[in-house]
Structure 1
Amino acid sequence: MKTIRIVAMITFAMIGFINLSAQETDSIPEGSYSKGVSITPIPVIAANPTLGIVFGVTSSFSWTMGNPKNTSPSVAVGSLTYTTNNQLISYLRGNAFLSEDSWNLLTDLRFQITSQPTYGLGTGPRSNTLLVDGSEGDVNINNPYKKTPSRQMMEYNFFRLYQTFLKRYQDTRLFLGLGYHLDMFSSIDDHLLDLESDPNRITHHYAYNTSKGISTKSYALSGISLNALFDSRDNTANPYKGRYAMINWRVNPKFIGSTTTNTILWTEYRGYFNLSEERPRNLIAVWLYGNFVTSGDVPYMNLPALGWDTASRSGRAYTFGRFRGEDLVYVESEYRFPLQKDKDKWGGVVFVNAVSASSRTEDVNLFSHINLAGGVGLRYMLNEKARTNLTLDYGWGTNGSQGFFLGLNEAF
């Protein structure tokens, strides 16, 4: 708890300085049209169950590429951080709308020199082990403020390049288009794996990949996607109303760089239900997504996994990739509310989430086991015009998992 207090004090001590950078944008008169980019940088100090203590900088970017009366604001978030687990994490994610929302461009670019434990597939008892024989359980890595022993980690380099182009269909909020998706895992070093010990120490990553005839040192998925997107949100960074629904079917053939040929389906829904006409920030938000391998074999780290959504915000309370399988379904609900009577600077949230994953190789069916989590959060609006929020959450999950999460913009 001492670490939580220190992190919280440092984080919110920064708000006075950060707020100065947002004031110029907030002062733009209502109805005016500014072509500039609003940039909100924040230094990061946080704790995460996978990463340990995190240091770095995160910036939110918002701009409009047309008349604000008929063009949605574009939003991007970039980050560069280093952790006490010797991990380098960088990313740039963007959701851009061209003039009159004629096109919607989605970008996800990441490079990581990182590590994480690799659990058994599916949800349920099998997912609580780090080795195939059930030993090396996860008791040492549920405390986000204690460095995970390096012998339990799998180190790797990760590169992602996603770019999707969506054309608006007539005068609707429906967008249709194509995308290219590349995920590369390389320099994999599985510390727990020991093929010379007696008995052998076999990790779930090694067992799964070798059973599929896939390398355990490096692999990639490279594919083209077909996409349908409906987006009626009033703001992509922090919606007060509207709906979001997406279907993405990705085909990953070997001839364009995939290690294996396969297809993967992503389906997603987000809804925002206002509880007060006078205070639009008082609302219930709902998030549901499903990720499914629809054909072929997928390398272990490319399988659907908790926390590997586009914004990496699902599963607050758990480590990245804590639950993984050929099929994964996630649902979350969050109550968002203002903490001031007449202003929207400060807000709070209460959230609950649930995840279920399958393992076809081990006959673990989807929904046979469900893992729950919940938590609370504090919000500070850095830029009221762009609705850029600084988010501070703490979550609790099953098996003692817990975590402190700092970010920009809402989780969904």
Structure 2
Amino acid sequence: MPICQRLLPILCLCLSISVWGQDSRFRRFIQKAISDTTAPGQPSYRFYPTLAYAPETGFEFGLSSLLLFQAKRDTLNRLSEVQVFGFGTVKGQYGLWIDNAVYGDKDRWFVLGRMRFQKFPLLYFGIGPKPPGKEPALIDANYLLFRQRVLRKIIPNLFIGPELDYQQLYNTSFLQPENYLYEKPLGTDGTLNIGLGAALVFDNRHNVLNVRKGFFGELSFLSYQPHLGSEYAFHGISADVRSFRPIGRRNVLAWQVYGNFFRGNIPFNQLAMMGGEMIMRGYYSGRYRDKNMLAAQIEHRWLPLGFSKRFGAAVFAGAAAVAPTIGTFTTKHIRTSGGVGLRYLLFPKKDIYLRLDVGFSEDGPNFYLFTGEAF
């Protein structure tokens, strides 16, 4: 979602239980859905409602769900997860998100991807490390994304395989702000692009949503060409390196370095974008965008806090820059962000937390509520 200000899910859930408390069947259904009573190796499922507000959407009502399981119900296999989030707004916008990280038995296969369908407005601040206007344009569009990697283990913890990316914008409209006239970027009138490529991944994490110890490294290449069905021709390389180090019994120190490097005629919605719920929290996703981006972040997590069995906390900071070419990165265009977060142990037996983060940037605060850590 362009602005991830999802607030008050636990309050909404409590109100739902209170209002429907006289219906024992409904109450048992809710309690079963939010409890964590499954035996080791058995699949676990949980859901919770969300409430958000943004000026371009008004109030948003959503429902998040999370499925956790291990291949063949073997506790020695890695924990797989499938997250689903659906939402609608009072202004008639809606969407469905699906994210998956699924490990096969003995890690023979690893399927990593995400899907998006939404009718949702996008804020556009221009392209480059120093966009021309502070008042954004509003691009309303239907958006469809399907991106999956099907990876095969070649040696322990090392995977390789093909990658497919399908992205489409349609039924678009471009509303200029009152005090600035933007040049319309590529893709504003609608675009469809299909990319094929490959990914090489090293991954020794056992719990993707809450890594206590481990390392993740990914190098991927995607090419979008007319003969594949793409409207524009471009290609790019992405690199993602993450490290997780335990500090004592409960604490974790994590860091990430991330980069996108593209060449060609790239539609605005597929440029490298700074901000969002994963990296550079505090910035709107796409507040700064260009063909290239370098970003890094560090985070200290208390999981849980010393005086609580359920509640934890985090503090994080990040820095990033975008540029039209690799050679034009400069220190003067580095943006910084930071923030704090609250954690609630949603699945005690699976060690999965619900996170509420507030990120601060030069544009002010942004709130993020998701299941699992940002990275």
Q: Distance in 1 between matches of 2:267 and 2:173?
A: 15
Q: What secondary structure sits across from 2:66 in the alignment?
A: strand
CA distance in 2, matches of 1:265, 1:51: 33
Distance 1:202 1:307, change over 3 A: same
- Aligned equivalents of 1:48, 1:314: Cα separation in 2: 20
2:239 is matched with 267
CA deviations 1:154-186 (Å, max 9, x no partner) are 11111001121100013x100010011111111
Q: Does 1:299 align with 2:262?
A: no
What is the letter of the counterpart of residue 84 of structure 2? G
Shift of residue 380 of structure 1? 0.5
Long gaps (5+) in structure 2: 18-26
Is residue 220 from structure 1 mapped to residue 192 from structure 2 by the alignment?
A: yes
What residue ranges of structure 1 are gaps of 5+ in the alignment? 130-136, 142-151, 195-199, 210-214
- Which of 127, 131, 140 in structure 2 is aligned with 1:127? 131
Q: Is residue 6 of structure 2 the alignment partner of residue 21 of structure 1?
A: no
- Name whichever structure is richer in strand by fraction: 2
Q: Contact 2:84–2:96 (CA<8 Å) still a contact in 1?
A: yes
Q: Are the structure 2 counterparts of residues 74 and 157 from structure 1 closer, same or farther at C-alpha, using a change threshold of 3 Å?
A: same
Length-normalised TM-score, structure 1:
0.79
Equivalent of residue 256 in structure 1, options 224, 228, 233: 228
CA distance in 2, matches of 1:306, 1:403: 14
2:313 is matched with 348
Partner residue of 2:278? 313
Contact kept, 8 Å, 2:339 with 2:360, in 1: the verdict is: yes
Question: Is contact 2:356–2:370 with CA below 8 Å preserved after alignment?
Answer: yes
Contact 1:67 1:100 in 2 (8 A): no
Alignment of structure 1 residues 111-260 onto 2, 5 Å? 111-123=117-129, 126-127=130-131, 129=133, 137-138=134-135, 152-170=137-155, 172-192=156-176, 202-204=181-183, 206=184, 208-209=185-186, 216-260=188-232
TM-score by length of 2: 0.87
Q: Is 1:25–1:383's contact at 8 Å kept on the other side of the alignment?
A: no
Question: What's 2:371 paired with?
Answer: 408
Q: Aligned partner of 2:176: which letter? A: L
Contact 1:186-1:217 at 8 Å conserved across structures:
yes
> Which residue of the partner structure matches residue 197 of structure 1?
none
**Structure 2 CA distance for partners of 1:85 and 1:323, relative to 1, 3 Å:** farther
**Counterpart residue number, 2:83:** 77
How many equivalent pairs are there?
A: 359
- Aligned-partner residue type, residue 160 of structure 2: L
For 1:381 and 1:21, locate their aligned partners in 2 and report how far apart those are by CA, in whole Å. 15
Q: How far apart are the structure 2 equivalents of 1:318 and 1:11?
A: 26
Q: Which amino acid aligns with 2:145?
A: R
Q: Partners in 2 of 1:20 and 1:325 — Cα distance?
A: 46
3-state SS of paired residue (1:120): coil
Residue 61 (1) aligns with residue 63 (2): no
The match for 2:21 is none
Shift of 1:349: 0.6
Contact residue 44 and residue 58 of structure 1 kept, 8 A:
yes
Counterpart residue number, 2:350: 386
Opposite residue 286 of structure 2, the aligned amino acid is G
Quote how far apart the aligned CAs of 1:323 are: 1.3
**Cα gap change, 1:159 to 1:367, in 2 (>3 Å):** farther
Residue type of the partner of 1:386? K
Q: CA deviation at 1:343?
A: 5.4
Change (3 A) 1:350 1:52: farther
User: 2:58 & 2:331 partners in 1: Cα distance?
Assistant: 30
| CA distance in 2: counterparts of 1:88 and 1:24, whole angstroms | 30
Change (3 A) 1:284 1:229: same
Instruction: Give the drift of 1:52.
Output: 5.4
Q: Distance in 2 between matches of 1:332 and 1:52?
A: 31
Aligned counterpart, 2:20: none
Q: Aligned with 1:240: secondary structure?
A: coil
With over 3 angstroms needed to count, the CA separation of the structure-2 counterparts of 1:33 and 1:39, relative to structure 1, is closer
2:107 is matched with which residue: 101, 104, 108?
A: 101
**2:256 corresponds to 1:287:** yes
The answer to whether the 8 Å contact 1:46/1:404 transfers is: no
User: In structure 1, what is the Cα distance between the partners aligned to 2:128 and 2:300?
Assistant: 29
1:193 is displaced (CA, Å) by 7.8
Q: Distance in 2 between matches of 1:230 and 1:48?
A: 38
Q: Helix, strand or coil for the counterpart of 2:232?
A: coil
Distance 1:356 1:235, change over 3 A: same
SS in 1 for 2:127: coil
Q: Residues 307, 221 of structure 1: CA spacing in aligned structure 2 closer, same or farther, 3 A cutoff?
A: farther
1:335 partner SS: strand
Structure ranking higher on relative contact order (CA contacts 8 Å, 6+ apart): 1
Range with bigger deviation, 375-384 or 314-323: 314-323
- For the residue of structure 2 that corresponds to 1:66, the secondary structure is helix
Letter in 2 for 1:315: M
| Contact 1:226–1:248, Cα closer than 8 Å, also in 2 | yes
Residues 308-342 of structure 1, C-alpha deviation per residue, up to 9 Å, x if partnerless? 7xxx5223212121111000112111110045437
Change (3 A) 1:316 1:13: farther
1:38 maps to amino acid: S
CA–CA distance in structure 1, aligned partners of residues 211 and 203 of structure 2 = 11
Task: Tell me, yes or no, if the aligned pair for 2:13 and 2:48 is still in contact at 8 Å.
Answer: no
Superposed CA RMSD: 2.9
C-alpha contact 1:116 1:320 (8 A) present in aligned 2: no
